[in-house]
Amino acid sequence: MTVSVPTAAEQKPVVRRARRRTSINLVVGGVLFGVIVTVAVLSLFALPYEPSDTTGGRLQPPSGEHWAGTDRLGRDLFTQLMIGARLAMLTGLGSVAIAAVVGVVVGLVAATAGRWIDDALSSLLDIAIAFPTLLLAMLVVAWRGASLDSAILAIGLAGSAVIARLTRVTASRVLAQEFVKASRTSGTGTLRLIRLHVLPNVWPTLIVPLALQFGGAVVAEASLSYVGLGSPPPNASWGRMLQEAQSTVLVAPSAAILPGLLLVATIIGVNLLADGLRDVADPAGRSIR
Amino acid sequence: MTALLSVDSLGVHLDGVAGAPLVDDVSFEVAEGERLGVIGESGSGKSLTALAVLRLLAHPLRATGSIRLATGEGDVEVIGARQRRLDGVRGSTVGAVFQEPLASLDPLMRIGAQLAWPLRRHRGLRGDALRRAVLDALAEVQLAAPERIARSFIHEVSGGQRQRVAIALALAAQPRLLIADEPTTALDVTVQAGVLELIQSSVAERGMSLVFISHDLPVVAGIADRVVVMRAGRVVETGETRQLLSAPREGYTRTLVAASRALDDLLPAAPLDGGRV
């Protein structure tokens, strides 16, 4: 019986030992986002004042007692900012979860089902993508009433169309790869194929868009609240704080500036985090162990 | 001997495009334990034939005719079989090795994990037994340091090692027929010989049937009992390897044989003469 002995050339491992980049994006994004998340979590347990406490005096500037000043009804702005952070995180998480689940499922169905279903779904997605988020949000609000849930549902559904299309394209590309054929030839069924090969290979392309959608969702909720379609009072969303501070911006600028700053910080944080995650998620850049 | 695989007047058509089929009226049989070589130039339809047998042709490609696989539970007609039936047949009856090992392994999955799935599915192994089986499978394809390979991603090992992993993957479910589609074409010449020997010894040890597809006549001559010569989607000539190569009947086969001979003749002369003959 012949036993082949591997040649030296064949056994030499090709180890592309990429230098592990400590991603600055990841660190800065993580810190920014971490601060907001911490504030949001803290707001569940402790708030400096009751949200409806109006004893602070009207339109006070920031002071030792009211770190961010008070609004025109005398409510503590720092308290409202903390609650706003919680609402922003809820909005982001909720709508990204909806977008991810709905989008990935629809995208995978389109990629694996027959041509007719694929064509039909793709046309539907084209329409859905062209549909403005705010218009969709207004429809959902008209259907379910203005609430945070409605806003999250609308933003999530609007985002799912983009995710679905991205999933379909990426999944079809993965399904056409030789390793999927090789896996098929060893008897792997479609569902297992999706779990083993398609999802792990599609996921890295979805991380960044999903993280970007998190930022987008926070802005969209702020916009909805700004026009009065978001969470109703006394839940202080940053968007509603901006809207309320608008008429007094010259007298008490901090009431308008602070929620705006937090919005910007959240979005920058999430986007940097997304970039950092993409760097880490790519195993070709991973070291061997 | 009974036929493990019988292909009868197989055609591969490109839907929506008029004209001659890409593969036309191809018939051959592979007996239990037989090693069949399929040879032909690029575009001769040999890979399409292999894909049809594995039923991996995707729209707009469409196969017609009949492809029968003998399995433990009766024959399966591959064309038109239900997906579920097919999943049961694949792996345990047919396994496949493809040309480009980098592409035929998942870049995001460690090699050990990839190898574990067919072992788990077809041999029902779990836990420690599964881990040992993975290492055994890697050792069986003569990979040194199976532990390290099992932990590696596919981009972390060399081309020859990749193809050995791909072979291990194809063999994992203990198929009765191995389809090798140009398994050495993408490899260095020095590595080719090792991989060929590996395929040859695995097939011999397990008593598997083999369909070996290549455009390289000497390679096929070394490994196959019988050869099918294809050109432009049709079978040009079929016969015992020795007989076909020593006395090719068809014009195309004669050209192929002559071309290989000419290359062989060049080899010893070139380095001595510095190019002048």
Taking CA atoms, what residue in A is nearest to B52?
A: A185
Q: Along the 277 residues of chain B, how does pLDDT read in single tens digits?
A: 578 899 999 999 988 777 788 999 999 999 988 999 998 888 888 889 998 998 888 778 889 999 998 887 778 888 888 888 888 778 788 888 888 888 888 888 999 999 998 888 888 888 898 999 999 999 988 888 899 999 999 889 988 899 999 999 888 888 899 999 988 888 888 888 888 999 999 999 999 999 999 988 888 888 899 999 998 889 988 989 888 888 888 888 888 888 888 877 776 655 544 444 3
Contact list in A for residue B146 (CB cut-off 8 A) is none
Q: What is the pLDDT of residue B267?
A: 65
Q: Hey, is the C-beta of A188 within 8 angstroms of any chain B C-beta?
A: yes
- From residue A164, alpha-carbon distances to A53, A98, A122, A128 in Å are 45, 11, 9, 10
**How many angstroms separate the CA atoms of B72 and B4, rounded?**
11
**Taking the model in full, what pTM does it have?**
0.76
ipTM of the complex in this document: 0.76
Cα-Cα-Cα-Cα torsion B77, B82, B87, B92, nearest 10 degrees, comes to -20
Q: Chain A 109-128, CB below 8 Å of chain B: which residues?
A: 115
Half-sphere exposure of B134 (CA within 13 A, CB side): 25
Give the DSSP H/E element, type plus range, for residue B201. helix B189-206
Q: So where are chain B's domains?
A: 3-268
Taking CA atoms, what residue in A is nearest to B202?
A: A3
Residue A7: φ, ψ to 5°: -75, 165
What are A105's two structure tokens? 């499922």
**How many angstroms separate the CA atoms of A178 and A183, rounded?**
8
Strand arrangement of the beta sheet that strand B74-77 belongs to:
B23-31, B3-14, B61-71, B74-77
Residue B36 contacts residue B28 (beta carbons within 8 Å)? yes
* pLDDT tens figures, A233-252: 767 788 888 888 888 878 77
Contact list in B for residue A179 (CB cut-off 8 A) is 103-107
CATH tag, B3-268: 3.40.50.300
What are B227's two structure tokens? 């050869």
**How many angstroms separate the CA atoms of A164 and B122, rounded?**
34
Q: What is the pLDDT of residue B269?
A: 54
List, in sequence order, the alpha helices (H) in chain A.
Answer: 8-11, 24-45, 77-112, 115-130, 133-144, 148-175, 178-185, 190-193, 199-226, 238-245, 254-281
Sketch out chain A's domains with CATH numbers. Answer: 32-54+65-283 (1.10.3720.10)
Taking CA atoms, what residue in A is nearest to B105?
A: A179
Contact list in B for residue A187 (CB cut-off 8 A) is 87-92, 118, 121-122, 173
Q: What is the pLDDT of residue A97?
A: 96
Residue A183 CB-density burial (10 A; 0-12 exposed, 13-18 middle, 19+ buried): buried
What are B264's two structure tokens? 């062989």
Query: What is the CA A289 to chain-centroid distance, rounded?
Result: 30
Q: How far apart are the first and last CA of chain A?
A: 37
CB pairs under 8 A between A and B: 154
Mutate to test the interface with B, among A180, A185, A191, A195 (most CBs of B within 10 A): A185
Q: Which residues of chain A have pLDDT under 50?
A: 1-3, 6-19, 285-289
Out of B98, B118, B142, closest to residue A4 by CB: B142
What are A80's two structure tokens? 């409202």
- Residue B255 three-state SS: helix
